[in-house]
């Protein structure tokens, strides 16, 4: 919680992907790629609930292996906030190649807030809706309920939870410095914006096609462009890195977009601005992480 507002962090991770198939659960420096984002959220002192909005059995299997592993137990007891990550099975509609992240965010929040209880947890594991469990109790086997999570008591405080702030973390940006998420949340609160996103600085020296002809997209022309160091802050551009989106709940539900009319751009650089969209990105990013931070680093 920050400024008396409850915060939910949602890691959107589905199977598939055109550029690098199934990248979200591929091993990245010793951990499944989406787990890096999960652990970053668990470390936050402001985030009240961590949810993996997953799609597909392989992501679910990876999640189960992770929360059952000795490394997760050690991590949870290492002194961090350690919010237990909940897994939500997204609908087919919200995890297609053409669906937007916002669809998954809204669906996840609505479903958890409206239905969160023991039956919901069990139903998620067995793909049974809460309404089915109410009308057909025979579909629920209480003797196997514990397979969903090690301890239901760890998440009982989530009942009647309603988020005020939504944080979306994309698995394709696995590197976030310690304190990054909390600094973003503090910046969002203290500056009075309705949303925040991380973006890396780029020069405005851009080209584009116009009716089959390549054109320089800056008014001065390609031959009269300034030296990079001479550019003013107003002349620089920022490329959305996908690392974090912080959004007011009402803005998300009203507009269907993670970015409101008054966003704050949180400038990032280096590894913090990189994201994985291809096999080359994956290999280069992993080499850099290992070179700088060693194996299996957070």
Radius of gyration of the CA atoms of the chain, in A: 21
pLDDT of residue 295: 65
5-24 pLDDT, tens per residue?
999 999 998 776 666 767 77
Which superfamily does CATH assign the domain made up of 7-116+160-198+239-293 to? Spore Coat Polysaccharide Biosynthesis Protein SpsA; Chain A (3.90.550.10)
For residue 269, pLDDT beyond 50:
yes
Confidence of residue 153 (pLDDT cuts 50, 70, 90): very low
For residue 31, pLDDT beyond 60:
yes
Question: What are the CA-CA distances from residue 11 to residues 169, 186, 242 (Å)?
Answer: 5, 20, 12
pLDDT of residue 76: 54
Contacts of 102 by beta carbon, 8 Å cutoff, 6+ apart: 252, 256, 257, 258
For residue 18, give both structure tokens: 């055109």
| Residue 11, φ and ψ in degrees, nearest 5 | -95, 110
Confidence of residue 149 (pLDDT cuts 50, 70, 90): very low
Burial of residue 198 (CB within 10 Å: 0-12, 13-18, 19+) is: buried
pLDDT of residue 258: 93
Residue ranges of the domains in the chain?
A: 7-116+160-198+239-293
For residue 94, give both structure tokens: 């919200």
Which one, of 259, 141, 140, lies nearest residue 197 by Cα? 259
Average pLDDT, the chain: 77
Percent share of the chain, pLDDT over 70: 76
For residue 236, pLDDT beyond 50:
yes
pLDDT of residue 187: 95
Mean pLDDT throughout 145-163? 53
> pTM of the predicted model, to two decimals?
0.80
Looking up tokens 């973390």, which residue turns up?
169
For residue 86, pLDDT beyond 70:
yes
Across 29-173, the runs of DSSP E, i.e. the strands, are 31-32, 49-55, 86-89, 165-169
More confident residue, 159 or 285: 285
CA distance 172 to 19: 12
169-220 pLDDT, tens per residue?
998 888 898 899 999 999 999 988 999 999 988 887 888 888 888 888 777 7
For residue 159, pLDDT beyond 70:
no
The backbone region for 11, taken as left when phi is positive above 0, alpha when psi lies in -120 to 50, beta otherwise, is beta
Candidate from 152-156, 158-162, 189-193, 209-213 with smallest mean pLDDT: 152-156
pLDDT of residue 167: 97
For residue 88, pLDDT beyond 60:
yes
pLDDT of residue 125: 52
pLDDT of residue 77: 47
């Amino acid at each position: 919680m920050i400024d008396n507002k409850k915060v939910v962090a949602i890691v959107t991770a589905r199977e598939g992907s055109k550029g690098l198939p199934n990248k979200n659960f591929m091993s990245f420096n010793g951990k499944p790629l989406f787990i890096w984002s999960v652990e970053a959220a668990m470390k936050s002192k402001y985030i009240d609930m961590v949810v993996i909005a997953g799609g597909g059995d392989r992501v679910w299997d990876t999640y189960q292996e992770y929360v059952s592993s000795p490394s997760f137990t050690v991590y949870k007891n290492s002194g961090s906030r350690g919010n237990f990550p909940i897994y939500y099975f997204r609908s087919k509609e919200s995890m297609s190649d053409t669906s937007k992240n916002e669809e998954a965010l809204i669906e996840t929040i609505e479903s958890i807030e409206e239905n969160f209880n023991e039956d919901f947890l069990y139903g998620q594991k067995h793909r049974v809706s809460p309404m089915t469990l109410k009308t057909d109790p025979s579909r629920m086997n209480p003797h196997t309920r514990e397979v969903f999570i090690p301890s239901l008591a760890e998440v009982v405080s989530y009942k009647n939870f309603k988020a005020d702030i939504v944080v979306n973390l994309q698995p394709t940006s696995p590197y976030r410095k310690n304190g990054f998420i909390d600094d973003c949340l503090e910046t969002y609160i203290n500056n009075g914006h309705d949303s925040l996103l991380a973006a890396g600085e780029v020069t405005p020296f851009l080209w584009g096609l116009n009716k089959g002809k390549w054109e320089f997209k800056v008014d001065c022309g390609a031959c009269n462009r300034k030296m990079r160091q001479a550019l003013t802050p107003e002349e620089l551009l920022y490329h959305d890195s996908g690392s974090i989106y912080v959004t007011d709940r009402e803005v998300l539900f009203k507009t269907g977009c993670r970015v409101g009319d008054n966003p704050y751009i949180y400038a990032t650089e280096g590894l913090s601005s990189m994201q994985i969209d291809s096999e080359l990105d994956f290999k280069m990013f992993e080499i850099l992480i290992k070179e700088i931070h060693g194996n299996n680093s957070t």
